Chains A and B, each alone.
Chain A
Amino acid sequence: MASTLPPSRPELVCPAGTPAALKSAVDAGADCVYVGFRDETNARNFPGLNFNRKELAEGIAYAHDKGAKVLVAINTFPRAGQPELWHQAVADAARLKADAAILADIGLIDHAARHHPELRLHLSVQAAASNPEAIAFYAERFGVKRVVLPRVLTVQEISAINARIAPVETEVFVFGGLCVMAEGRCALSSYVTGQSPNMNGVCSPAGEVRYTETAQGVTSELSGFTINKFAANEPAGYPTLCKGRFIARDKASYLFEEPTSLNTLAILPDLIKAGVTAFKIEGRQRGRAYVAAVVQAFRAGVDAVMAGRPLPEIDLDRITEGGKQTTGAYEKAWR
C-alpha cells in the first residue's frame, strides 16, 4: 500500500437530471452533483431531461451557496466533422464555472486541456480506463485529475490501482443501474436500435420501447426484438437490452444480467479502505424521489463509516430495478 494514513472522507457525487433533482441532491447531503446539457453531448440524453445554460447557471449558484460542487458530464464522443456542439458544451461549462467537466473522448479532452486550462477535468466511465497505464495516459498527457473507474473491477483491483496512480483520484459507482459490459465499449444498443451511448448518449432508447399486454402478462420489446416477458404479477423491468431474458443453448435465462441495481452500502468500508476519493450514484434519469432517498442513505452510510459507527440498515429495495440488488463486479464471484 502506498500510504498508511487513515483514508479521507470520500465525496458523495450525486445525479441530477433536472434543477429540482439538483436541489434534492444538495439538500440531502451531496458533496457534488453531476449534470448534463439537454442535448447529445452527455450519456443521459433522455427525453425531457437535463439542463439548459440558464438552469445550469442557477444550479451552480444553488450548489455553491450550500457548499456543494457541480460537475458537468460531456461524455459522448463528438461526431466526425461536427465537434462544435461538444466544444461549445465544454466552453459553457468553463464559462459558468462548473467545478469540473467529465469527459470521455480523447480528442475532446485534448481540446479542453488546450483551450480551457482552468477547467478541472475528470475522465468519464465511458472512457473505460481500467488500469494504471491508461489512467497515467490521461493524467500525464491532458492533466486529468480524477478517473471514474469502469464497473468491471473488483475492490482488490481498485485498491491496487489507487496505490499506483496517486495523486490522480478515483471515483467509483456505489449505487444504481449497472452496466454489465465495460462502459463506453458497448455497441449493443446501436446494433439493435441505431442509437448508442457513445454516439447518441442513450442506451435502449425509450422511443424504441414497446410494452404489449398478453393473456400471460407483459412483453417488453426494443426495436421489435423481445427483450423480456413478465407474468401478470411479476415485477416488470425497462427493456435495457443486456438485462433481458434470452435463449442460449436451448435455455432461456438472464444471460448477461438480471434486472438489478448496484448497491454497495454493505461494502462501503472496503471501498473507503481501497482509497477511493469519490462515490458516485447513478441515475440522472430517475427523478427527485430516487435522488433524495439514495443520497440520504449514502450520506448516512459514509458518515457512519468515517465516525467509526456501524453501518446503518437502510432498505433501498423499493427503488431498485426489479427489487433486486447486487454488489456487481466489486466481488469476484460476479464474473
Chain B
Amino acid sequence: MTSITLGPLLFNWKPDAFRDFYFRMADAEAIDIVHVGEVVCSKRTPFLDPVIPEVIERLQASGKQVVASSLALIMNDREAAQARDLAESGLLVEANDISVAAMMAGRSFVAGPLLNIYNEGTLATLEAMGAVRVCLPAELAADAIGQLAAKAKMGIEVQAFGRLPLAISARCYAARARGLSKDGCQYVCADDPDGMAVETLDEVPFLAVNGTQTMSYHHMSLLGEVGDLVRRGVSSIRLWPHVTDMAQVAGLFRAVLDGRLAPAEAEDRLAALVPGAEFANGYIHGRPGHQYVEMEL
C-alpha cells in the first residue's frame, strides 16, 4: 500500500503551534510517516528543541513512524554537531545534506528531497550506504521517476502537495526584505507561517520565501497524478505541512489513492482547504514547475 508521509514543517512556527500541529497529526488516520526537525535554519532549533521530545513521543504512541529530518545546508561546526546528535539519536534520520548521509552510512536512513538524486547511479550508491527510502527532487518528471523506481530496491517517494522547496542559501531573504541581516534577523520569518509571497514588478505571483529557503509560489498538487505514479512504482507520497487542516489534506490523497474519490473532486475540496492557493504540477509533466496541466477527466 502506498504510504502517506508528512514532510518536516519547513516554516518557522512558534513552539506551541508546532507542538499542537504535530499532536493533531498524531491523530490523522491517513498519515503513516511523520518527519520532524528543522531543515531550513539552524538559528530556529533552540526554540523547538524543548518540545520535540514530547512531539516524537506522542507521534510514536499513535503508531506513526517518526523520522528526524536534518538541516539542508551545514556550514559550520555547530551545525555539524547538531547533525551528529541527530545521527546518534537512535531515530530514523532523513539526510538533507550529503554529510548526514555520510554520518549514517552503514545504518538505515532516508535520503531527503534536498539531496541531488537524479539517476540510478546515485541511487545505487545511497542504497549501498543504507538508504531505505528516497524522496526525489522536485524537478524530476514522471518518466525519470519511473526509471528510478524500476531500478530501486528502496522505497521511492514523490513530493505531492505544498509549496516546493526550490533553493537554499546562506543569505536570509526574510531578513533582507526587512532591511535586516541574517545575524540580526529578529526571527522575522515567523511572520509568514506559509512563506512570504514574492511577485514580479507586474504583480504576478512568482516565488515564496521561507527565511534562507526559496520556494514555489504555487502549491504543488499531484492529486491527478498520484495514481499514475503509484503504477510507475512510487511507494509513498510526501505532503508538505501548511497552515491548513493537514489531516483533511492527507485524507483527500488517501481517498484518491484508494479509488474512493475522483481526483478532480478531490482537487476542488483541496482548493477549499487552502483558499487563495494556486496549484501547479508542471514538473511531473516535464514542464516548467509553475505550470498546471489540467487533469484528464
Contact = CB atoms under 8 A, between A and B. Distances in A.
Do A's and B's CB atoms come within 8 Å in the complex?
Answer: yes
Interface of A: 77-81, 83, 104-108, 110-111, 127-134, 136-137, 152-153, 157, 160, 180-182, 184-188, 190-194, 196, 198-199, 223, 225-229, 242, 244-249, 251-253, 255-257, 329, 332-335
A248 B116 contact: no
Q: Which of A80, A105, A110, A227 has the most CB of B within 10 A?
A: A80
Interface string B72-114: 1111110110010000000000000111111100000000001
Contact of B288 (A191, A245, A248): A191
B166 A187 contact: yes
A106 B126 contact: yes
A80 B147 contact: yes
A105 B119 contact: yes
Contacts of B120: 80-81, 83, 107
A256 B147 CA distance: 35
List of 8 A-B pairs having minimum Cβ-Cβ separation, nearest first = A107-B121, A133-B99, A152-B170, A191-B289, A137-B102, A107-B122, A77-B118, A81-B147
A157 B118 contact: no
B199 A246 contact: yes
A134 B70 CA distance: 14
B201 A229 contact: yes
B98 A153 contact: no
Interface of B: 72-77, 79-80, 83, 97-103, 114, 116, 118-126, 137-140, 143-145, 147-148, 164, 166-173, 176-178, 181-183, 196-204, 206-207, 209, 214, 216, 282-283, 286-290
Contacts of A329: 170-171
A153 B137 CA distance: 24
Contacts of A81: 119-120, 144, 147
Q: Is the interface of B mostly helix, strand, loop or mixed?
A: mixed
A134 to B, nearest CB: 4
A322 to B, nearest CB: 17
B201 A108 contact: no
A186 B80 CA distance: 22
Contacts of B116: 77, 104-106, 127-128, 184-185, 198
Contact of B75 (A111, A153, A186): A153
A256 B173 contact: yes
B170 A247 contact: no
A180 B169 contact: yes
Contacts of A335: 170-172, 181-183
Nearest to A250: B199
Given A81-B147, A133-B102, A134-B99, A186 B166 contact: yes
A182 B102 contact: no
Given A184-B116, A186-B166, A251-B177, A226 B202 contact: yes
Contacts of B100: 133
A77 B119 contact: yes
B288 A131 contact: no
Contacts of B77: 160
B98 A226 contact: no
B197 A80 contact: no
Contacts of A248: 173, 177, 196-199, 209
Contact of A181 (B74, B148, B168, B181): B168
A223 B199 CA distance: 15
A109 to B, nearest CB: 9
Given A105-B122, A182-B169, A192 B288 contact: yes
B166 A191 contact: yes
A317 to B, nearest CB: 24
A331 B21 CA distance: 38
A149 B198 CA distance: 29
A137 B98 contact: yes
A191 B292 CA distance: 12
24 contacts: A77-B116, A77-B119, A80-B118, A83-B120, A104-B116, A105-B122, A133-B80, A133-B102, A185-B167, A187-B166, A187-B289, A191-B290, A192-B288, A198-B137, A199-B118, A228-B201, A229-B201, A242-B167, A246-B207, A247-B201, A248-B209, A249-B178, A251-B177, A256-B176
B204 A225 contact: yes
Contacts of A245: 201
Given A77-B116, A106-B122, A191-B164, A153 B170 contact: yes
A134 B97 contact: yes
A181 to B, nearest CB: 4
Contacts of A194: 282, 286-289
A190 B289 contact: yes
Given A105-B116, A110-B124, A128-B98, 15 more contacts: A77-B119, A80-B143, A83-B119, A105-B121, A106-B122, A106-B125, A128-B73, A134-B102, A157-B76, A182-B169, A187-B139, A194-B289, A246-B207, A255-B198, A256-B173
Contact of B139 (A128, A131, A198): A198
Contacts of A182: 73, 167-170
A115 B156 CA distance: 28
A299 to B, nearest CB: 29
A110 B289 contact: no
B200 A227 contact: yes
A332 B184 CA distance: 12
Contacts of B197: 248
Contacts of B282: 194
Contacts of B103: 133
Contacts of B207: 188, 191, 246
A172 to B, nearest CB: 14
